[in-house]
């Protein structure tokens, strides 16, 4: 009789582990940036095609206050043009090629408008919207919130940033939006586990049993970034975290299925 109890316990634990692993959300970093040019419509649609749960994107303002989706403060790395985002008008941005540096297959891929990305993602994939602090933002938080509300997508996005002031502004403006703080080193002046935020977007090396326990006790969700090696994906899949951020959502998907 005892052996049947042990077998039942083993099977129950195994099934519980499998179910939990499947609950870990997949966040495609800058879209599926391992397969398409980062922060483009192509990368977001690829993430949706691969059935990632979220596409993470970066938002900044141009010189003429237009919201565009790009990570760097300068266009050189992704387009070859050495100009800063805050010194460039959208008419100039629209002419840039954000695809050729990745592959000739994507030649002519544009740096997208934030609203265009919202339209592309709506009903297909959730968005993790990072507010980029380039030191020149004017009304970045306000404009992002306005665009999200205009598209009626408040329940389909989370807003994150390395800049706590920006996140506090979002929280003050719209308490219904989920907000997260991004960090890879614990800030010395704040206990992030007690902060008025929903999500701890942590550099994956910070994640261990202790940090997961603290986050769960404080009711906060953990996002682990940016995880591209299979061995790191496997280690993190064993923790009770909300999401793993990766350039390769297809690889992470296979590991979570094991």
Of the candidates 72, 74, 83, 63, which has an alpha carbon nearest to the alpha carbon of residue 39? 72
Of the candidates 177, 181, 137, which has an alpha carbon nearest to the alpha carbon of residue 163? 181
The catalytically annotated residue of 29, 110, 136, 242 is: 29
Backbone angles phi, psi at 223, to 5 degrees: -110, 130
**SS3 per residue for 44-103:** HHHHHHCCCCEEEEEEEECCCCCEEECCCCECHHHHCCCCEHHHCCHHHHCCCCCCCCCC
Known catalytic residue at 110 = no
Alpha-carbon distance 178 to 220, whole Å?
11
Residue with tokens 């807003």: 159
The DSSP secondary-structure symbol of 138 reads: S
> Which residues make beta-bridge pairs with 181?
161, 200
Known catalytic residue at 29 = yes
The catalytically annotated residue of 71, 110, 136, 242 is: 71
Alpha-carbon distance 51 to 45, whole Å?
10
Catalytic residues: 29, 71
């Amino acid at each position: 009789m005892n052996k049947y109890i042990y077998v039942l316990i083993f099977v129950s634990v195994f099934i519980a582990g499998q179910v939990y692993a499947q609950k870990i959300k997949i966040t495609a970093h800058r879209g599926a940036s391992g397969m398409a040019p980062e922060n483009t419509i192509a990368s977001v649609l690829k993430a949706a095609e691969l059935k990632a749960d979220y596409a993470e994107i970066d938002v900044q303002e141009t010189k003429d206050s237009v919201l565009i989706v790009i990570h760097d403060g300068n266009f050189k790395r992704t387009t070859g043009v050495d100009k800063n985002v805050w010194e460039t008008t959208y008419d100039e941005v629209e002419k840039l090629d954000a695809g050729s540096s990745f592959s000739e297959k994507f030649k002519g891929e544009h740096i997208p408008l934030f609203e265009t990305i919202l339209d592309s993602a709506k009903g297909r994939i959730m968005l993790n919207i990072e507010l980029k602090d380039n030191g020149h933002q004017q009304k970045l938080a306000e404009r992002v919130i306005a665009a999200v509300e205009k598209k009626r997508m408040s329940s389909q996005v989370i807003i994150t940033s390395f800049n706590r002031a920006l996140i506090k502004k979002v929280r003050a403006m719209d308490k219904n939006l989920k907000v997260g703080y991004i960090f890879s080193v614990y800030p010395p002046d704040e206990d992030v586990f007690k902060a008025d935020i929903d999500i701890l977007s942590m550099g994956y090396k910070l994640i261990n049993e202790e940090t997961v326990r603290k986050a769960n006790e404080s009711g906060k969700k953990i996002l682990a970034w940016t995880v591209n090696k299979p061995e790191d994906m496997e280690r993190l899949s064993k923790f009770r975290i909300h999401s793993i951020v990766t350039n390769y959502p297809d690889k992470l998907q296979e590991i979570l299925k094991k």
